[in-house]
Chain A
Amino acid sequence: MTRHFLASALFAGLIAGVVAAVLQNAFVVPVLLEAELYEGGEMVHFAPAEAAGGHSHAEGHEHTAAGGGISSGAGDIAPPGAGHDDHAASGSAAGDHEHEHATGGTALLARFGLTALAELVTFAGFGLVMVACFGIAERFGATVTARSGLLWGLAGYVAVQLAPAAGLPPELPGNGAAGLEVRQLWWVFAALASATGIACLAFGRGALPAAAGVILLALPHVIGAPHPEGYTGVAPPEVAALFAARALATGAVCWAVLGLAAGYFWERAPQPVARVPA
């Protein structure tokens, strides 16, 4: 029975992982790759202060001259399916950095493949944790179906991605951040507190669980996420904004799929817990 329990969770996670791999490689990773051009110095958003002089606005968008096909940033990568190949193709006539990308096709493919693999592992993990939570909830009398699984998925998204992102937004490469360990610690705390808070609101009865739920949801943000001393990001804010928005949007879809699939399999699986009268 345990084997079936784990297999259905893994299968749901793999379905969500495939969706994540497709959506994120298509919509989010290209934005990340563009940001890496700024991180590596191949593209420059603003001219150095000493060069800007009295006409900083005129020189402010140096990347429009240096960047070739990628200069419009968000606009260039907006069309669905455009992906990174369009960057390489459109930029190859204009600048040195595009040349590097155009010749690095195999490396890029491997990178997309590794990202897809990591998505599968990540969502398989989230799927297992979610199904474990199904098991706990059923022990307390809750019934999990595909429909309620969708709500579980969205709740998981809020707990694990949206709420932590309110303190630590999805990070663009090259942007400044506080120390890694302290951010990881805050992230784990925020995710656990948010998940527990949502569970209190969803399953608790009466004012006390509701109050506890609100407090748990607010607590990580009252404490505050660790942030760097100053801003050191080199990519245009438009790129960072697009990255964060797309990361959150695709995350919502993936979590919805995860919850729906996990609920679907759970509903159909012969469950030993709470399904059989004692």
Chain B
Amino acid sequence: MSMTTTMTTAAPTAHTPSRRETTGLAGIVSALVIGAGLVFFAGFAHSQTLHDAAHDTRHVTGFPCH
């Protein structure tokens, strides 16, 4: 599965390792939080409006509904 990565396209010189760590973690946490939030609104929120709009998607995707 290992493949050559696109290191040549990266421009790493401006960052220190600690800076990279922080940036990466911020990205990971942001993606997790925003992603989970979107899934929550589409699949789980009890708001009647959201439920009605996403009703068919909830059923089809296998989220518990009603």
Chain A interface residues (CB < 8 Å from chain B): 1-2, 5-6, 9, 20, 24, 28-29, 32, 111, 114-115, 117-119, 121-122, 124-132, 135-136, 139, 143, 145, 147-148, 161, 164-165, 168-173, 177, 180, 183-184, 187, 247-248, 250-251, 267-276, 278
Given A9-B35, A148-B1: A171 touches B66 (CB 8 Å cut-off)? yes
Separation of A145 and B61 alpha carbons in the complex (Å):
26
Separation of A248 and B62 alpha carbons in the complex (Å):
8
B62 in contact with A114 (CB, 8 Å): no
In this complex, how many residues of chain B approach chain A with their Cβ under 8 Å: the count is 49
Q: B16-32 toward A: CB 8 Å interface, digit per residue (1/0)?
A: 01001101101111111
B62 in contact with A2 (CB, 8 Å): no
8 further A-B contacts with Cβ under 8 Å, apart from A132-B29, A171-B66, are: A9-B31, A115-B54, A118-B54, A135-B24, A143-B1, A187-B63, A272-B15, A278-B20
The total of interchain contacts (Cβ-Cβ below 8 angstroms) comes to: 177
Of B12, B44, B56, which is within 8 A of A115 by CB? B56
A273 in contact with B20 (CB, 8 Å): yes
Nearest B residue to A187, CB-CB: B64
- Measured CB to CB, the closest approach of chain A to B37, in angstroms, equals 7
